Chain A
Amino acid sequence: MTAKPLLFLAALLPFAWLLWGALTQNLGPNPAEALIRSTGDWTLRFLCLVLAVTPLRVMSRTPALARLRRMLGLFVYFYAVLHMLCYAWLDMEFVVADIVRDIVKRPFILVGFLSLVLLTALAATSFNRAIRFLGARRWQWLHRLVYLVAGLAVLHFFWMRAGKNDFAEVAVYGAILAVLLAWRVLHAWRQRHASVRPRAAT
């Protein structure tokens, strides 16, 4: 199947685009802001994508889609790390004391930082040996934290936009993630109430 390498390249396109823009000074009048915001946007977009894999797989009866999930999940982490690096570099100039003060002082930074810590735990346990080591059940429990990450990420975005009372985009991401989560709850509930048959992995 060639979908995976193609998707890999496609997922790198936003990064390539931003890198190209930064090198050729093509990111508009405020390139630092553009980089910080777009890496954040892309983190949210990949989060929506990765959470859409399972619903799509089940509804379209395409088990092969499962093969794409881990890679997309790691891209969420990739863009989240880029987002953090852009903030730490361009906004904070890597002054650790300033960053720590910022995390403590500003709830929206704290929430963003928390989601990154959680994502790190998920990324660090994403390879096969980690799954074997933790056991499928515990691993799955751990990786359900991605919903918490999604909630925190939307809260982070919400707070960032709160000052401008501008929630249109926040609402779009919030709605997509809410629908995806609702589907899962519904799906799990149906399976529990269906007659005794082997449960499909969620």
Chain B
Amino acid sequence: MIFHNRNHAFDHAVRSEITPRQTYLDRRGLIRAMAGGVAGAALATWATRDAMAQSAARPGKLAALPGARSAVAGAVTMEKRTDYKDASTYNNFYEFGTDKSDPAEKAHTLKTTPWAIEIEGLVKKPQKIALEDLLKLATQEERIYRLRCVEGWSMVIPWVGYSLSQLINKVEPLGSAKYVEFITLADPRTMPGVGSRVLDWPYVEGLRLDEALHPLTLLSFGMYGEALPNQNGAPVRLVVPWKYGFKSGKSLVKIRFTEKQPATAWNRAAASEYGFFSNVNPEVDHPRWSQATERRIGEDGLFAKKRTTLMFNGYEPQVGQLYAGMDLRKFY
């Protein structure tokens, strides 16, 4: 007979081990489909074909940038992708203006060649890496991530890139490095919004080193099988799928390894509204709106019920352990 002892952590599911309801439901759906036998098999072929057709269709706007299948857990959601048109015309990129339509209209002035990222701070090998070399640094993978904006809307975007850890390991952070700071381009000549006083420029974001090393944290060069459009952060950006969108800096020019937590742009502008972590969390409201639900752009009809926002944007099984024991209300 087994006696359960409350002190035995292994007897209890920790939060990150509990299967999210959605995954559980998806699994049931899969089992049901399998149980369909012949019908299930037919369905599977059809679904595969459909999925392939989906990934094959390129918008045909920019240079092709194919991505290999990713082996990283949680890297490919099966949800319906957002239309390229919506993903490339409804953007927050304040360097080009605060309206969602501003970036698509104005970002054509951004000059993305030549481009390089400077690596500095607490690393063994500080260096300046040209975009051409960055592109070849690791295998480009397709990562289909949910994107949850702090404003309460979401998308599903097929990014192309590789885990940021590939780059980090190459430059060898020192033991004293605890944080990674991402500095983005602020060029008043090509970015009309940089003159505004909305934020302090350049736009700076940051992650804890373990967050930056997480395989889901993506250094992205493309989306929808093509190079990134300027308005989406060309030529290279960050994508951190379990955090609100603004944590994923666009048009990166510098990556700095630090001991102290970086002062990030939104945190400096409104600390009570945007914390350093800014993990997607349905339980911690933004002071001016609830974060419990979201509207999926282009998919949910105008009068459809909003969908429930998932803890860590649904990536809790993969990233929950990074925050074990932390009070997420305090460290929002």
Measuring CB to CB, which residues of chain A are less than 8 angstroms from any residue of chain B?
22, 25, 27-33, 35, 89-91, 93, 98, 102, 105-106, 108, 159-160, 162-166
Contact = CB atoms under 8 A, between A and B. Distances in A.
A95 to B, nearest CB: 10
A163 B305 contact: no
A197 to B, nearest CB: 49
Interface string B247-285: 000000000000000000000011001000000000001
Interface in B34-87: 86
A165 B288 contact: no
A165 B153 contact: no
Contact of B302 (A22, A159, A162, A164): A22
Interface string B99-124: 01100000000000000000000000
Contacts of A27: 302
Contacts of A108: 288
Interface in B276-309: 285-290, 295, 297-298, 302-303, 305-306
B298 A29 contact: yes
Contacts, number: 54
B90 interface: yes
Given A29-B298, A159-B288, A160-B288, A165 B305 contact: no
Contacts of A106: 287-289
B302 A166 contact: no
Given A93-B305, A163-B270, A166-B98, A30 B288 contact: no
Contacts of A25: 302
Interface in B176-222: 196-199
Contact of B86 (A29, A159, A160): A29
10 contacts: A28-B101, A29-B89, A29-B100, A30-B100, A32-B302, A90-B302, A90-B303, A106-B288, A106-B289, A165-B269
Nearest to A28: B90
B43 to A, nearest CB: 30
B101 A30 contact: no
Given A165-B197, A165-B198, 4 more contacts: A28-B89, A90-B302, A106-B289, A166-B196
A164 B270 CA distance: 8
Contact of B198 (A31, A32, A102, A164): A164
A162 B302 CA distance: 26
A121 B273 CA distance: 35
A160 B302 CA distance: 22
A29 B270 CA distance: 27
B198 A166 contact: yes
A30 B90 contact: yes
Contacts of A91: 289
A90 to B, nearest CB: 7
Contacts of A32: 295, 302
Contacts of A35: 302
A163 B288 contact: yes
Contacts of A89: 303
Sort A-B residue pairs by CB-CB distance and give the 10 closest, nearest first: A29-B90, A29-B86, A165-B198, A31-B302, A29-B297, A166-B98, A163-B273, A166-B198, A165-B269, A163-B270
The residue in A25, A35, A160, A164 that gathers the most chain B C-beta atoms within 10 A of its C-beta is: A164
B306 to A, nearest CB: 7
Given A28-B101, A29-B90, A30-B90, A165 B302 contact: no
Nearest to B266: A163
A159 B101 CA distance: 22
A141 to B, nearest CB: 34
B86 to A, nearest CB: 4
A159 B297 CA distance: 25
Contacts of B288: 106, 108, 159-160, 163
Contacts of B297: 29-30
Contacts of B295: 30, 32
Contacts of B153: 30, 33
B72 to A, nearest CB: 28
B87 to A, nearest CB: 9
A163 B92 CA distance: 14
Contacts of B199: 165
A90 B98 CA distance: 23
Interface string B124-158: 00000000000000000000000000000100000
Contacts of A159: 288
B285 to A, nearest CB: 8
